[in-house]
Amino acid sequence: MPHKAYKFRIYPNKDQQAFIHQTHGHCRFVYNHFLALWNTSYKEEGKGLNRSIMSKMLTKLKKQDDTAWLRNVDSVALQASYEHLIDAFNRFFQKQNNYPRFKSKKNPVQSYTTKNTNNNIAIVGNHIKLPKLGLVKFAKSCEVEGRILRATIKYNASGHFYVSIACEVPDFKTLPKTNKTIGIDLGITDFAMLSDGRKVENQRFTAKMEQKLKREQRKLSRRYEQAKKEKRDLRDCMNYQKQRRKVARLRERVAFQREDFLNKLSTELIRQYDVICLEDLNTKGLLKNHKLAKAISDVSWSSFVQKLMYKATWYGRKIGKISRFYPSSQLCHVCGHQDGKKSLDIREWVCPSCGTVLDRDLNASRNILAEGLTLLTQQP
């Protein structure tokens, strides 16, 4: 069954906050403990640990006097820690990420995951029931659909607490057919150019907040230097910590603005069109261009495409992805003449074959649509 996630801000009281921080520390200990054992096992025997071995070892750890404090927190959250380690190694072996590293308590973002067993995770009015925490007040921005599978409790650098709930939804309502198709050319000057001529402006969230961020970041740097000069621990410097949270909240606001924009745009497109065609962009490769890396990170093409993909799966739409090497900007969408790389350097060019005046981005989006539809018809 398809899964759907919901994210809410929670407002735990002081006792609940202390318990969340305690659980974060215990889960971090379990993860680091088994990572160290995994490294030792691999050096000595040439193989790592498996799920069964770690489960038995965790049980023994709880019975030992020096680690009996592990019994104080949610046992499922501790089990999820070594499950995350297994997943990290699986991704490493598939060359999806780097070798797993030890977790640090200095990391500004801390989280743990727990599963729903015997209805110990539930929505009760404007409170959410969580294992070992009881009822926690939360900002209920929407109704939760489906059966709750698990919850991840996260503490951000901003000092805010959030819960992400993963639900199993038995049946998504397929959207009615519109018999419309669209091609999308993603860019930086404009976030997207649609093949019907509509432009979606680049909101430039980071640029709008940049001056304020610079000012607050300079204050943070001065307080850091002052603490360093006085040889004080940063955790004891209240002015530094207050300013650190202020900077983190500004960055968090930018991230939430971007997320809201991408969600609304992707949902609008999914509702309006049966087929959406776009390019398979090499975002990682493009980020190596240091002149454009900041602007590319701000527009978040990868996140936008990802949202389109899973929403299309939910609501019965089709996504056509064309090769990143397809010369969409160089081909005339009217006659198919290829004008070479010089067409990439100008916003508008004239096709030497048919004389059509072509806007680079609009022409590209129409070529993307045509190629995407062709690829979809060739699929079995």
Q: Which of the residues 74, 298, 339, 361 is marked catalytic?
A: 361
Residue 361 annotated among the catalytic residues of the structure? yes
Residue 279 annotated among the catalytic residues of the structure? yes
Residue 260 annotated among the catalytic residues of the structure? no
Q: Which of the residues 74, 279, 339, 371 is marked catalytic?
A: 279
Residue whose tokens read 């062709």: 374
- What is the set of active-site residues? 185, 279, 361
